[in-house]
Amino acid sequence: MKKTLLAVLCGGLILSSAATAKNLVIGAPMVSFADKWQTYLQDAIRDFDAKHDDVEIKLSDANADPARQLNDVETFIDQKVDALLVVPTDPNIVKVIGRKAKQAGIPLIIVNRKPLDADMQHITSYVGSDEIEAGRIQADYIVNELKGKPAEVLLLMGILGLDATAKRSEGAKETFARHGHIKVVSEQEGKWERDRGLTIAENVLAANKKINVIVSNNDEMAIGALLATRKLGIKDEDVTIIGVDATPDALEYLGKGLDATVFQSAQGQGYTGAEIAYKAAKGEKVEHVNWVPFELVTPDKKEEYQAKYKK
């Protein structure tokens, strides 16, 4: 408990009173402490906590297990936290969490992984990025780079069923569909993982040597695809690769095989999510949807975005 000690000098006597302001507590069940991109989001939440003396944010690790996350939520509700700040393991869990939070009278803030449209009614607020825009930004970059040249595309997707996977893929495909010289010839689920991205890309590229563009739903799979091209002896100039997130690892590869990425601000989502949860915990009105914009990152912007991780 954080306390403020007020000392008053009165008539030669020191009257001391401990004025203890209510310490807000926010329960934050996270999807996973092992997911690299999520760790940047979690650090931003901790940063908000460190800068505000009247709130404590307790993070828990579901290790990508929905049952474990539900247990974490129930534990926080039993502790009578003032708000819940959740990165859900999957969209289907949000409805259950929302009903539990509402029954307990606790505001629920969802971050990063958007609930199903039908389940948005069960939450107080959502903080994230408009996922379809990431795919559109990726595809627009490819269209401009190709300058009318034909292309066959390998699309590496995240976990099927997640809003980010569906919308990023949709954004890219709907843009390519307007350009007859660009065809998506293979769509593969890489589950956000570098190793899966490597294995998939190695197999697909070995079987179809006409593929000259790889669009990945995230940077980890894009890096895996890049490593696959190295194993296969494919020159950087013969394949264009673009990811999403602009993680520190991806920025290291930018201009060295990775042609571009799309910045998804983990810090922006995490800090904004904590700020919204803080306001909701105090009973303040908050927006139902809060967008953190995506940004195209090309090699000429490499140092600018690397600096974001050094603040």
pLDDT at 311: 64
What topology is assigned to 24-127+266-292 in CATH?
Answer: Rossmann fold (3.40.50)
Across 144-155, average pLDDT: 97
3-state secondary structure the chain: CCCEEEEEEECCEEEEEEECCCCEEEEEEECCCCCHHHHHHHHHHHHHHHCCCCEEEEEEECCCCHHHHHHHHHHHHHCCCCEEEECCCCHHHHHHHHHHHHHHCCCEEEECCCCCHHHHHHCCEEEECCHHHHHHHHHHHHHHHHCCCCEEEEEEECCCCCHHHHHHHHHHHHHHCCCCCEEEEEEEECCCCHHHHHHHHHHHHHHCCCEEEEEECCHHHHHHHHHHHHHHCCCHHHCEEECCECCHHHHHHECCCECEEEECCHHHHHHHHHHHHHHHHCCCCCCCEEECCCEEECHHHHHHHHHHCCC
Share above pLDDT 70 across residues of the chain, in percent, rounded to a whole number: 93
- Given the candidates 1.10.10.10, 3.40.50.300, 3.20.20.30, 3.40.50.2300, the CATH classification of the domain at 131-263 is 3.40.50.2300
Please determine, for residue 285, whether its predicted confidence score (pLDDT) is greater than 60.
Answer: yes
Mean pLDDT score of the chain? 92
pLDDT at 79: 97
pLDDT at 3: 31
Local confidence band at 248 (pLDDT 50, 70, 90 cut-offs): very high
Q: What is the pLDDT of residues 3-61, one digit of tens each?
A: 332 333 233 332 233 334 559 999 999 999 998 889 999 999 999 999 999 999 999 99
Please determine, for residue 153, whether its predicted confidence score (pLDDT) is greater than 80.
Answer: yes
pLDDT at 113: 92
Domain with CATH 3.40.50.2300 in the chain: 24-127+266-292, 131-263
Please determine, for residue 119, whether its predicted confidence score (pLDDT) is greater than 60.
Answer: yes
Across 82-91, average pLDDT: 96
pLDDT at 22: 54
